């Protein structure tokens, strides 16, 4: 049943006219465009991904906070760009929706950070000067050294650091940065000779001759 037909049926109900009671009670879902299922995905996964991508979790302020924090954690250097240049904030946004258990630690952590910055500097984290932001981060970036009133912030910062590292090093930019050179068809013929030498290791005779 198309949506407009079900609406018609519902409006007829108002006049007390006979309609199928089941259909009246459960209106047909709105027409949706058929979803193209990407290669390697199951249908339910593709539908779920499409639904999550259509949702928004972060407010603009939260997204801005996440962006600033991720770039403090992984800044650009001579070898590669920064976390936000690698798309980390968008990845973190997705993970909030994909695994909703992340939402409260993230939303609450940002709020904790703003509360603490307001107390210390009179404004929220993103409105602080760069020096104030770093001063704040220093309080929460080393869990074993965090003062008792900073431990929740340290937990939040570790959470942000983990998400940032994963988001960065699983991006195209991050994989180039870390120097991973696999994921291509190749022939494995053992550890390079110079590396064996460096570690004082050698293959056994049978390993060098087998299959030859």
Partner 1 sequence: MDPFQIQKAPVQYDVAIVGSGAGGGMAAYMLAKAGAKVVLLEAGGYFDPADPKYITQLKWPWESPRRGAGTTRAFGDFDAAWGGWDIEGEPYTNAKGSDFQWFRSRMLGGRTNHWGRISLRFAPDDFRRKSMTGVGEDWPIGYDDIKPFYDRIDRMIGVFGSVENMPSEPDGIFLPAPKPRLHELMIRKGARSIGIPVIPSRLSILTKPVNNERGACFYCSQCGRGCQAYADFSSSSVLVKPAMKTGNVTLINGAMVREVITDPATGLCTGVSYVDTQTLQEVTVKAKSVVLAASAGETARLLLNSKSSRFPTGLANSSNVVGKYINDSTGASRSAFVPALMDRKRYNEDGVGGMHVFTPWWLDNKKLDFPRGYHIEYWGGMGMPAYGFGWGIEAMNGMIPGRDGKMHPGGGYGASLKDDYRRFYGAYVGMAGRGEPVPLESNYCEIDPNVVDKYGIPVLRFNYKWSDYEVKQAKHMQETFEEIIHSMGGIALGDKPNAANNYGLASPGQIIHEVGTARMGNDPKNSVLNKYQQAHDVKNLFVVDAAPFPSQGDKNVTWTILASSMRTSEYLIDQVKQKNI
Binding site for partner 1 (CB under 8 A): 37, 39-40, 42, 44-45, 48-49, 52-53, 72-75, 77, 87, 91, 94-95, 98-99, 137, 141-145, 154, 157-158, 161-162, 165-172, 174-175, 177-192, 194-196, 198-199, 201, 203, 206-207, 210-211
Of 161, 22, 177, residue with least CA distance to 1: 22
Joined tokens for residue 118: 């307001």
Query: Measured at the alpha carbon of residue 186, what is the angle toward residues 185 and 190, in degrees to the nearest 5?
Result: 145
Question: Judged by CB, which is closer to partner 1: 62, or 72?
Answer: 72
Of 70, 43, 32, 68, residue with least CA distance to 169: 70
In the numeric block, the tokens 């979790």 are attached to: 57
Sign (positive or negative) of CA dihedral 120, 131, 111, 73: negative
Question: Judged by CB, which is closer to partner 1: 114, or 140?
Answer: 140
Cβ atoms of residues 10 and 2 within 8 Å? no
Question: Judged by CB, which is closer to partner 1: 122, or 190?
Answer: 190
Of 41, 42, 29, residue with least CA distance to 3: 29
Q: How far is the CB of 10 from partner 1 (least distance, A)?
A: 26
Q: How far is the CB of 180 from partner 1 (least distance, A)?
A: 6
Question: Judged by CB, which is closer to partner 1: 17, or 181?
Answer: 181
Q: How far is the CB of 174 from partner 1 (least distance, A)?
A: 7
Q: How far is the CB of 123 from partner 1 (least distance, A)?
A: 21
Question: Judged by CB, which is closer to partner 1: 16, or 172?
Answer: 172
């Amino acid at each position: 049943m198309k949506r407009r037909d079900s609406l018609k049926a519902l409006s007829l109900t108002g006049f007390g006219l006979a309609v199928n009671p089941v259909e009246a009670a459960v209106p047909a879902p709105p027409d949706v465009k058929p979803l193209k299922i990407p290669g390697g995905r199951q249908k339910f996964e593709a539908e779920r991904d499409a639904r999550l991508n259509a949702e928004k979790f972060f407010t603009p302020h939260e997204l801005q906070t996440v962006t600033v924090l991720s770039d403090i954690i992984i800044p650009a250097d001579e070898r590669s760009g920064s976390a936000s240049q690698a798309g980390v904030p968008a990845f973190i946004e997705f993970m909030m929706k994909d695994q909703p258990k992340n939402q409260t630690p993230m939303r609450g952590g940002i709020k904790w950070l703003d509360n603490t910055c307001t107390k210390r500097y009179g404004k929220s984290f993103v409105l602080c000067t760069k020096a104030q932001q770093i001063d704040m981060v220093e309080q929460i970036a080393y869990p074993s050294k965090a003062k008792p009133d900073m431990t929740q912030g340290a937990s939040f910062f570790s959470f942000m650091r983990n998400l940032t590292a994963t988001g960065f090093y699983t991006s195209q930019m991050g994989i180039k940065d870390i120097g991973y050179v696999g994921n291509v068809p190749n022939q494995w013929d053992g550890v390079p000779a110079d590396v064996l030498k460096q570690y004082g290791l050698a293959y056994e005779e049978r390993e060098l001759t087998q299959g030859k």
